[in-house]
C-alpha cells in the first residue's frame, strides 16, 4: 500500500478554490436552494453532477485541475466535485457506501487505478477521510468487483489506520491496495475533488471504458445534455 501526499502551488490552489466555489454557487442559484447538501444535482455519495446551466463553471474547475501534477497517463472521465456531510445512518446500508472501509476496485474500478483526493474547504476532520494498511489475504479476489464492500473485506486482514489529515493545498494519491473510508458527521460538510488515473490503459473492469489518455483529458471539457429541468423531473 502506498499513499503519496503532494502540495500544490498556492496560485493553483487559489484558482481551484475560486472555480469550485463559483461552481457550487451556480448550482445553488439554478436550483433555487440555499443548502449544498440538498442540491438535486448531488448524488448519494456527494458528487455534484454538472448540468448544461453549470457547464461553464465546471469547465473552469477542469482547467484548474489540469494544472495539478497527476500520477498516471490515463484519466477516468469526468472528474468529480464532492460535498460530503449531513450523515444519514441509512447511507451505511448501501452496498457501496463510502462510509465503509473500501477500495474503489471493489465497486468496479480498474485494478491498476489510482485515486487522487484533493480537499478544497470545509470540515476535514468530522467529514474527512482515513486510510489504512492491511494484508491482502485473498489476492485472487481482492482485485475483483464485489457485491458489497462488506463482502470484499473478507479478502483482507486486520486494518492498521494511518494518521493522515486532509488539509487545503495538500492532496493524496492513493494506490489500489489502500483501504480508505469517508468520515461523516451530522453537522458541517467538506468540499473536495477526486479523480482516478491509471499508469497505462486501465485494466479490464466495470469502469475501464471511462478512462482516456491524459493528452485527450488536457484538451477536453465535459459536456452534457442534462438540464436543471430534466434533473428536477427525474427526481421529482
pLDDT of 62-77, one tens digit each? Answer: 999 999 999 999 999 9
Centre a 10 Å sphere on the Cβ of residue 210 and count the other Cβ atoms it contains.
16
Task: Report if residue 21 sits inside a domain.
Answer: no
Task: Report if residue 45 sits inside a domain.
Answer: no
Query: Can you read off the three cell numbers belonging to residue 86?
Result: 449531513
The β-bridge partners of 191 are: 83, 121
Share of the chain above pLDDT 90, in %: 83
Task: Report if residue 178 sits inside a domain.
Answer: yes
Task: Report if residue 140 sits inside a domain.
Answer: yes
The β-bridge partners of 179 are: 132
Residue 83, classed as helix, strand or coil, is strand
Computed over every residue of the chain, the mean pLDDT equals 93
Q: Which residue has the higher pLDDT, 185 or 124?
A: 124
> Which residues are within 8 A (CB) of 68 and not within 5 positions of it... i.e. 6 or more apart?
8, 12, 16, 116, 118, 171
Phi-psi region of 36 (alpha: psi -120 to 50; beta: other; left: phi over 0): alpha
Task: Report if residue 27 sits inside a domain.
Answer: no
Task: Report if residue 150 sits inside a domain.
Answer: yes
The structural domain count of the chain equals: 1
pLDDT for residue 179: 94
pLDDT at 89 over 70: no
pLDDT band at residue 1, thresholds of 50, 70 and 90? low
pLDDT for residue 93: 83
Burial class from Cβ neighbours inside 10 Å (0-12, 13-18, 19+) for residue 186 reads exposed
pLDDT at 204 over 80: yes
pLDDT for residue 90: 63
Taking a C-beta distance cutoff of 8 angstroms, is the pair 168, 192 a contact? Answer: no
Task: Report if residue 123 sits inside a domain.
Answer: yes
Task: Report if residue 34 sits inside a domain.
Answer: no
81: which DSSP letter?
A: E
Taking a C-beta distance cutoff of 8 angstroms, is the pair 180, 130 a contact? Answer: yes
* Residue 188 vs residues 37, 40, 191: alpha-carbon distances, Å: 10, 18, 10
**pTM (predicted TM-score):** 0.93
- Domain of 113, in residue numbers: 3-7+72-222
Determine the straight-line distance between the first and last CA of the chain, rounded to whole angstroms.
Answer: 43
Instruction: Dump pLDDT digits (tens) for 95-122.
Output: 998 889 999 999 999 999 999 999 999 9
Amino acid at each position: 500500500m502506498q499513499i503519496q501526499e503532494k502540495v500544490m502551488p498556492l496560485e493553483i490552489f487559489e484558482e481551484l478554490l475560486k472555480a469550485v466555489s463559483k461552481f457550487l454557487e451556480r448550482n445553488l442559484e439554478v436550483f433555487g436552494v440555499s443548502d449544498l447538501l440538498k442540491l438535486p444535482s448531488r448524488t448519494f455519495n456527494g458528487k455534484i453532477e454538472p448540468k448544461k446551466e453549470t457547464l461553464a463553471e465546471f469547465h473552469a474547475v477542469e482547467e484548474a485541475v489540469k494544472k495539478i501534477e497527476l500520477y498516471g497517463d490515463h484519466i477516468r472521465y469526468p472528474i468529480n466535485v464532492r460535498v460530503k456531510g449531513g450523515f444519514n445512518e441509512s447511507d451505511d446500508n448501501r452496498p457501496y457506501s463510502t462510509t465503509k472501509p473500501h477500495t474503489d476496485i471493489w465497486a468496479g474500478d480498474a485494478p491498476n487505478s489510482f485515486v487522487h483526493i484533493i480537499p478544497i474547504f470545509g470540515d476535514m476532520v468530522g467529514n474527512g477521510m482515513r486510510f489504512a494498511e492491511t494484508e491482502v489475504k485473498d489476492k485472487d479476489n481482492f482485485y475483483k468487483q464485489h457485491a458489497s464492500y462488506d463482502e470484499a473485506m473478507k479478502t483482507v486482514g486486520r486494518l492498521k489506520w494511518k494518521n493522515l489529515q486532509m488539509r487545503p493545498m495538500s492532496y493524496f494519491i492513493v494506490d489500489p491496495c489502500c483501504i480508505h473510508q469517508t468520515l461523516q458527521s451530522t453537522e458541517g460538510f467538506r468540499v473536495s475533488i477526486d479523480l482516478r488515473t491509471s499508469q497505462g490503459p486501465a485494466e479490464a473492469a466495470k469502469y475501464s471504458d471511462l478512462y482516456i489518455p491524459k493528452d485527450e483529458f488536457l484538451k477536453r471539457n465535459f459536456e452534457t445534455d442534462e438540464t436543471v429541468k430534466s434533473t428536477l423531473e427525474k427526481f421529482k
